[in-house]
Structure 1
Amino acid sequence: MKDLLNEQEKERYRANFTYFEYYTDIYKSSYDMQKKIKDSHVLILGLGGAIQDVATLASLGVGKITGLDFDTVEYSNLNRQYIYKEGDVGKLKTEAAKQRIKEINSDIELNIINKKITSSEDILPLLSNVDLVISGIDSPGIISSRWVNFACVTKNVPVIFSGINGNKILINKRSGEGCFDCFLMYCSTNDPIFKYQLNTLYGYTFEKKNTAIAPTVSILSGFITAEVMKHLLNLEYQMRAGYMYQFDVNELTMNSDYHWEKSSQCPTCGKNPSKELCDITTLMKIVEGHSNDT
């Protein structure tokens, strides 16, 4: 099966082949697995901290990567977005990212788009033949994740959401189970304080309020890209959908105690899904109505 890859690829991915031998059987070889990765397409929304994900997936050999951003490189990015260099400051992140990633792996198909996401409609056209989405956008607060969630649910594309809050790393994978709107509904039902937080943060533009540093971004990127690999290869021990995983950098512990089910009342993925993303007021009214019924 070695003819699935050319000679340069066989040399480049020698360590990959050795690692994949842990997962091989009579039906698939390590070369089959590398070819599967080569034939995959991952979409990454946001090229800030997620630029590390792009670099890692390019090194892994993901055959097609689409990345999207609209911002420029700033000095304040360099404490954690270390793919960018001092000479990139002032450049579009898309321009700098394309140059850097091509230096890592010139064999992959790299599609870098300079665009600002303002709605789910901006995302839907990007999801054709995409195997998985990594959402690296968090502003404007909450609504940006709802845009991504709605588009991915509509097109039935798995998505990984993540974030950093001080010494805590949060990561969630949505793949056929409760979606991000289900999460908001669950939290609003079970935590009275959450509604206040939701109203405060919804649509908020985060500027100069970032607790991410290089070590935590590196750890998060490792978690995300390892999960992408497991998903693309359909390996065991993938993250369970509908769970929020939290890694404590101080304690070096991971827990997944936070869990929500798919809601039949969810306007995005429930029994009667809406053709358009509903506003947050409508979503909260559904929560209140469901709570009154129960």
Structure 2
Amino acid sequence: MIALKNCRWERSGEVLILMADQSRTIELDDPTGDVNALLAALREGTEDAASLTTRLREAGHDTDVATVRAAIEALDGLRVLERSETSIGRRPKDHRDYSNLAYFDLFSSLDVTAEGFRSALADAHVVQLGVGGLGSNVLQSLCGLGVGHLTLLDNDLVEPANFARQFVYREEQIGTPKVERAAQWARAFNPDIDVRTVSRWVDGPDGVSDLLDDADLVVSGIDQPNDIDLWVNEACTAAGVPWIRGGMFGTMVIYFSVDPGRTACYRCSRTASDQGVVRRLSNGLDRVNRGIGPAAALVGSLVAFEALRYLTGFTPPYAAGASVVLDTADGCRQTRTEWTRDPACPACARTPRAMAGTS
């Protein structure tokens, strides 16, 4: 049955103000009061446009099935309609995914349910490279979202310096492999998650490519060696698997993503930008990790949101083919810079989508 979501509205002159959520207010022209009557009828639920038309005509409104059907389509496009059997009111509030489903309700429609978004996450396989400052924070969000399959890669041991920003680890775990402790945390948090671990130092594209056979997405938080991002880019573009990179440097947090065959890739960004001097100077500096807990949590949540966009499509990926930088010393001011695709990029040329002529 078609029904109106949990909405409230009131008229202001010839305009009807509809609030579908505290974060969203919609204004609808309604000089005749027909929209008001339509919303009231939809709140009670209806089988289809024909039965709704009959009810409206019986109430004195001059309308027809085609007009009502068009109105239903318009309201559904505004994401204010649902199938009554999927209403949030039917879900137990102590359910593990209650708040996730409540969030997805904001983007559900008559064709796409909140449960559909959750199922997409449960079926998804994310390969996560690194479980350090970025990775451990992303891991917590992915597990909370209900991502069903995780492959975690890392080669480091837990050490005291981690505790400022990596909150899945404990004092008694110092000296043990991070990847195993991170997997232990994920399994304890939700035993239904399938977690695989790889203890490996990535020294080329082959160190990533053999993990991608059934992967839907790669999240990378590895910053060593210097060419690591090029290697991950090469492996992911060749496999046609989207990937997201996040990190921290100084007061800045940064993330970007690549959707192979659809956006510029990381190699394209390197070709288009003239930052040779900057890179040489940066590579010559001693590496000092200044990542604090709030910064790691911030970039981790931004990367997790980007992952959510890729895995569910609830909105398009924001950082696809672009870098997003936030300055934590300037009110987290955000700058987004879109990359230009290099038509001669050898990495893009190898993507399955490019070879299929759909890039």
Name the counterpart of 1:255. 335
Measured in 1, the distance between the counterparts of 2:310 and 2:347 equals 23
Name the counterpart of 1:106. 191
> Which of 291, 298, 313 does residue 219 from structure 1 map onto?
298
Quickly say closer, same or farther: Cα 1:237–1:157, change in 2 above 3 A.
closer
Measured in 2, the distance between the counterparts of 1:167 and 1:235 equals 31
Q: Which amino acid aligns with 2:125?
A: H
1:181 and 1:266 in contact (8 A); partners too:
yes
Q: Secondary structure at the match of 1:62?
A: coil
**Deviation at 1:259?**
2.4
Cα displacement string for residues 155-185 of structure 1 (whole angstroms, at most 9, x for unaligned residues): 0111111211222111111113111111111
> Which of 221, 229, 232 does residue 145 from structure 1 map onto?
229
Name the counterpart of 2:270. 184
Cα displacement string for residues 107-147 of structure 1 (whole angstroms, at most 9, x for unaligned residues): 11011111111110111110112111111101112x01111
Name the counterpart of 1:162. 246
1:145 and 1:180 in contact (8 A); partners too:
yes
Quickly say closer, same or farther: Cα 1:121–1:200, change in 2 above 3 A.
farther
Q: Secondary structure at the match of 2:164?
A: coil
Q: Secondary structure at the match of 1:127?
A: coil
Q: Secondary structure at the match of 1:210?
A: coil
Aligned ranges 1:120-135 → 2 under 5 Å = 120-135=205-220
Larger-Rg structure = 2
Q: Secondary structure at the match of 1:72?
A: coil
Structure 2 length-normalised TM: 0.68
Aligned residues: 259
Q: Which amino acid aligns with 2:137?
A: Q
Measured in 1, the distance between the counterparts of 2:116 and 2:338 equals 35
Q: Which amino acid aligns with 1:12?
A: R
- Give 4+ residue runs of structure 1 displaced > 4 Å after superposition: 7-10, 204-207
Measured in 2, the distance between the counterparts of 1:259 and 1:231 equals 18
Q: Which amino acid aligns with 1:41?
A: H
Q: Secondary structure at the match of 2:257?
A: strand
Name the counterpart of 2:345. 266
2:310 and 2:316 in contact (8 A); partners too:
no
Cα displacement string for residues 236-268 of structure 1 (whole angstroms, at most 9, x for unaligned residues): 253142211111223232221x22211012222
In the alignment, structure 2 segments of 5+ residues that lack a partner are 1-84, 352-359
In the alignment, structure 1 segments of 5+ residues that lack a partner are 189-193, 275-294
Structure 1 length-normalised TM: 0.82
Name the counterpart of 1:241. 320
Measured in 1, the distance between the counterparts of 2:181 and 2:320 equals 34
**Deviation at 1:34?**
0.8
